[in-house]
Amino acid sequence: MSANESLWLDQALHGDPQAFAQLVELYQRPVFNLCYRMLGTAEDAEDASQETFLRAYRSMRRYDTSRSFITWLLSIAAHYCIDQMRRRRYPVISIEDLPVPDLPDHSPGMEAKLGNKQERERVRSLLQSLDPTDRAAVVLYYWYDYSYDEIGQALSLTIPAIKSRLHRARKTMAESWKENEHKVEVPGRLAHESQTV
């Protein structure tokens, strides 16, 4: 943690909103990414990440300074997103039915844009096939390189529970990918057959 971060954190702990705004600037990307991977749309992710920072600001007195601040923020974000998904009863949608979400894209060319969009769609589709808590565990493991212990702390779960959830999530995602590949292959094969006839 840099000297500036420590200073802002110290000031934020004493209720300074300007110092907390600096922390928002610093940690907006990881928090937004988690919310985006969890909820699937930029609008929902924006709302959830804003709410995460508001909740963190209001709960600063409860922040345990021996813990990492970003892990604490991600824990708030993950719990908020899981709660939102359960409240809204997000359906588990099949991959091909999902629309491509709008997300600010800073890529240079059209090819890169299309590539990014397809890639975003594929990743989003895979995550959408998972249970909310499994999804949070997967995002923290693959995007943040968190250890099982850190994921357990963030999601209030034991290490065996995290391992079990990741195992189930990996299987679900691999099966979704396999199924999707087959669905893509079948029309192509049919078209080829009709040409030969």
Scanning the structure block, which residue is given the tokens 């094969």? Answer: 189
Specify the residue, 49 or 153, whose C-beta has the smaller distance to another protein.
49
Mind giving me the DSSP string for 73-137? HHHHHHHHHHHHHHHHT-----GGGPPPPP-----SSHHHHHHHHHHHHHHHHHHHTS-HHHHHH
Distance, CA of 51 to chain centre: 15
Q: Per-residue x/- marks for another protein, 127-146, CB under 8 A?
A: -----------x---xx---
**Please, which of residues 61-120 interact with another protein by CB under 8 A?**
61, 65, 103-104, 106, 119-120
Between 66 and 194, whose beta carbon lies closer to another protein?
66
Return phi, psi of residue 115, to 5°: -60, -45
Residues that bind another protein (CB under 8 A): 1, 6, 9-10, 13-15, 17, 21-22, 24-25, 28-30, 32-33, 36-37, 42, 45-46, 49-50, 53-54, 57, 61, 65, 103-104, 106, 119-120, 122-123, 126, 138, 142-143, 148, 162-163, 166-167, 170-171, 173-175, 177-178, 181
